[in-house]
Structure 1
Amino acid sequence: MLAIIIGLAIGIIVPVQTSVNTRLRGVVGSPFTASFISFSIGTVFLVLLTVIVEGDFTLNEALWTTEPRWIWFGGVLGVIFLTGNILLFPKLGGVQTVIMPIFGQVIMGLLIDHFGWFDSAVNRLSPTRLIGAVLVLLGVVGTVALGDWLAKRRQRGQQETKNLAEVNLTGWRLLGIVTGMMSAMQAAINGHLGSVLDSAIKGALISFVIGTLTLLFVLLLVRPKLQLDRTAPKPWWMFIGGLIGATFIAGNAFIVPLVGTGVAIIIVTIGLLTGSLLIDRFGWFGAARTPITGVQILSLLVMIGGIVLIRL
C-alpha cells in the first residue's frame, strides 16, 4: 500500500515538473540549458538529503567489482528521455508526446518483469496481467486523446483526410515509444542500484550526477546561446523542477524493488495523468484552465481496474 501511495504521489508531481521546466526554458531560451539547471539543482538537493538522511556518501564495494556496468546508465537514459520529449513535442503535439512514451513505458515495464531483466524479480505476463495492461493503455488514450478526437470528429464530420505530413509522423511516434522504453529501463536500473546501495536516495544521487554530467557534455557540444528574457515573468517556483525530478527518481528507486518495474510504471502513470488533469482543471503554474470531462474520469477508472488486474 505504501508503494502505491508513493507511486501515485511522484506521478502527480511529474506534470508540475514539466510546467516548471517549461517556464524556466522560456526565461533562459534553451531547453538544454533549462534541463542542466534543473538537473544541477536536483543534484545539490540529493547531496544535502544524503547527508541528512544517510550521514555519509559511502558506496557498496560491489558497485566497482561485481555489479554489471549497466547500473551506471540510468542517468544517461533519463537525459535521453528528456531530450526525446523536447524533440517530440513540436512534431507530435502535447497529446501524442504523452501517449507514445507511456505506451513504451508500460510495454517495457511488463517485459522487464516477465524476463527479470536488470536483476528484477521475475513476474510472468499472465493473461490477467495482459488484460490489465490493455485496460491501462486504453485508459491512457481515453484520458489524453479521446475527448479531443471526438470533438474534432464532430467538427469535421466524415470528411477527414490524411496528408503526407501525417503519414510521415510514424517515425516520430516510434521514437516516442522507444524513449518511453528507455524511461522504464531507467526505473529498473535505479531500483536495482538503490537495492545494492540499500538506499534509494544514494541511487537517485548517482543517477542525477551522471545525468548532470551528460547534460554538461551536451552543452559543451551544442554550445547554445543563453538568451535571457528579461521581460518574461520569473516566479520563484520555476527553479523547483530539479527538486521534483530528484524526488521522482528517488521514489521510483524505492518502489520498483517492492512492486516490480511494470506495476511501478503503471501506478506512476495513473498519478501522472491525474496530476495533468488537476493542473488543467485549476490552471496551476500558468496553465490554461480546462474542465475535466466525463470521458477522462471514466478512463481513469478503467486504468484503476487495469492495475487491480495486474496486481492480482
Structure 2
Amino acid sequence: MGAGLAMQTAVNAKLRDFVLSPYLSSGFSFLMAWVFLLLLNLVTRQPLLISGTFITHNPSWLWLGGFFGAIALTGNVVLFQKIGSLQTTVLPIMGQIIMSILIDQFGLFQSPANPLTWAKGIGLVLIVSGVILSLGLFEPRDPLLKAAERHAGKGSQLFYQLFAILAGMLMAMQTAINGYLGTTLHSPIRASFISFTIGVLSLILVNLITHAHFSNIRLALKQGPRYWWIWIGGIIGALYVLCSSWLVPLIGTGQVVVLALFGQLVFSALVENFGLFASQVNRMTRAKIIGLVVMFVGVLTVKFITF
C-alpha cells in the first residue's frame, strides 16, 4: 500500500507533464478512482445517495475529507516536480505524524483522545531529525547545484517544503474524517465513494475556474502503450483507501500505518534513485539512508512505545 502511494505520486506527476496542468491531472486521477468506487458500490449493492436527515444530523466537517484529499493530491503532483520524490514523501509524513498526534491529543473529529506521552515526544524528535538528514541539509553541496538553487530561489523551495508538511496534515485529517464517516455509514466502501465524490466535484470546479484545457487529455492519449501506467494513479489511490479499511480490523491501525509508511519511504527512495516512472534521477546518499532509518524508528516510537 505504501509503495502504491509513492507510485501514485510519480504516476500523477507524469500525467501532469502531458496534460500541462496539475489540476487536470489530479481531477482525472480522482475521476478514475470515483468510477472504480462507483462500480464497487454497484457490485456490492450499496446505496449511492445519503438522506437529508443524515446530513443535517452530522457535523459539517464530515464532508471535508474529500476536499482535503483533493488539495493534498494536487499538491503532491506539483511538489514531485519542485522538490523531488523523496521530499514529497518525507515531508508529508512528518505533517501526518504531527497532525495525528494533535488529533489524538485533543480528540479531534470524534477520535478517541490519546494524550501526548514522552515516547511520542521522543518519536517526534526522531522524525524531525530523520527528515533533516534525509533532506541532505548537512551534506557537502555541489557548486553547480548551489548555483541552481540560488537561481530558483531558496524562498520558493522553503515554501514548497512547508506546503508539503501542510499536505501531510490534511491527509491525516482526511483519514480521521473518513474513518468517522465510515463508522456512521457502517460501510467504508460507501464512505470512500462519498469522499471521492466530493473530491471530484471540488477538482472539477477548480479546473473550470482555472480554465483548464480539457482537450489536453488527448495529448496524454497520444503517448500510446509506452505510458499506459499514467492512467492508473486514481485506481491506486482508491485501492489504498479500501485496503486500509480491510486491514485495520485484521492487524490494527498502528501496524497498517507504520508498514504503509515504511513501504512509502522505501519505494519513494527507489523512484528517485533510479528515475522510475520517467522521473528525475537523484541518487541516494549515506545521510539520506540514515535519515530514513531514523525517521522510521521515530514512527515506530510514536505508534508502538508507551512510557
Category of TM-score, reference length = shorter chain: 0.7 to 0.9
Q: Counterparts of 1:188 and 1:96 in 2: how far apart (Å)?
A: 24
Please tell me the residue identity of whatever aligns with 1:205: F
Q: Is 1:106 matched up with 2:94?
A: no
Among 219, 225, 234, the alignment partner of 1:229 is 219
Match of residue 45 from structure 2: 55
Query: Which residue number in structure 1 is paired with residue 265 of structure 2?
Result: 273
Once residues 163 and 280 of structure 1 are traced to their aligned partners in structure 2, the CA distance between those partners, rounded to angstroms, is 22
In structure 2, the partner of 1:5 is none
Is 1:182 aligned to 2:170, yes or no? yes
Q: Return the offset for 1:201.
A: 1.8
Please say if residues 126 and 297 of structure 2, whose CA atoms lie closer than 8 Å, have aligned partners that are also in contact. yes
Q: 2:296: which partner in 1?
A: 304
Whichever residue aligns with residue 55 of structure 1, its letter is R
Is the Cα–Cα contact under 8 Å of residues 33 and 219 in structure 1 kept in the other structure? Answer: yes
Structure 2 CA distance for partners of 1:216 and 1:59, relative to 1, 3 Å:
closer
Other-structure match for 1:26: 17
SS at match of 1:235: helix
1:90 and 1:16 map into 2 onto residues whose CA distance is 14
Structure 1: runs of 5 or more not aligned: 1-9
Any conservation in 2 of the 1:136–1:266 contact (CA below 8 Å)? no
Matched, 1:46 2:37: yes
TM-score (norm: length of structure 2): 0.80
C-alpha displacement of 1:126: 0.2
Question: 1:249 is matched with which residue: 232, 241, 248?
Answer: 241
Superposition map of 1:1-312 within 5 A: 10-52=1-43, 54-57=44-47, 63-88=54-79, 92=83, 96-143=87-134, 145-146=135-136, 150-152=139-141, 155-156=142-143, 165-167=153-155, 169-225=157-213, 226-227=215-216, 228-229=218-219, 232=223, 234-253=226-245, 258-259=252-253, 267-281=259-273, 283-287=275-279, 292-310=284-302, 311-312=304-305
* Residue 7 of structure 1: aligned partner: none
**Secondary structure class of the residue paired with 2:219:** coil
- Over 3 Å counting, the alpha-carbon distance change for 1:129 and 1:267 in structure 2 is farther
- How many residues are paired up? 293
How far has the Cα of 1:83 moved from its partner? 2.9
Q: TM-score, normalised by structure 1?
A: 0.79
Whole-angstrom distance in 1 between the partners of 2:288 and 2:61: 38
d(CA) in 2 for partners of 1:86, 1:292: 21
1:68 Cα deviation (Å)?
1.1
For residue 285 of structure 1, what is the amino acid of its counterpart? F
Asked if 1 retains the 8 angstrom alpha-carbon contact of 2:94 and 2:168, the reply is yes
2:248, 2:117 → 1: CA distance? 19
Distance 2:156 2:276 in 1: 35
Q: Helix, strand or coil for the counterpart of 1:122?
A: coil
Q: Distance in 2 between matches of 1:282 and 1:169?
A: 23
Question: Take 1:89 and 1:189, find their aligned partners in 2: how far apart are those partners?
Answer: 26
CA contact (8 A) 2:63 2:198 kept: yes
Q: Is the 8 A contact 1:99 1:140 kept in 2?
A: yes
Query: Judging changes above 3 Å, is the alpha-carbon distance between structure 1 residues 141 and 203 closer, same or farther for their aligned structure 2 residues?
Result: farther
- Give the whole-Å Cα distance in 2 for the aligned partners of 1:103 and 1:203: 26
Question: What residue identity is the alignment partner of 1:229?
Answer: L
- What SS class does the counterpart of residue 55 from structure 1 fall into? coil
Equivalent position amino acid for 2:2 in 1:
G
CA distance in 2, matches of 1:68, 1:253: 22
Deviation of 1:284 after TM superposition, in Å, equals 3.6
Check the 8 A contact 2:16/2:22 in 1, yes or no.
yes
Alpha-carbon distance in 2 for matches of 1:105, 1:204: 19
Q: Encode CA deviations 1:4-23: one digit per residue, 9 max, x unaligned.
A: xxxxxx22111211222122
Q: Deviations over 1:105-163 (max 9, x none)?
A: 221111001111001121111011111122233233434x22x75241xx45xx99x96
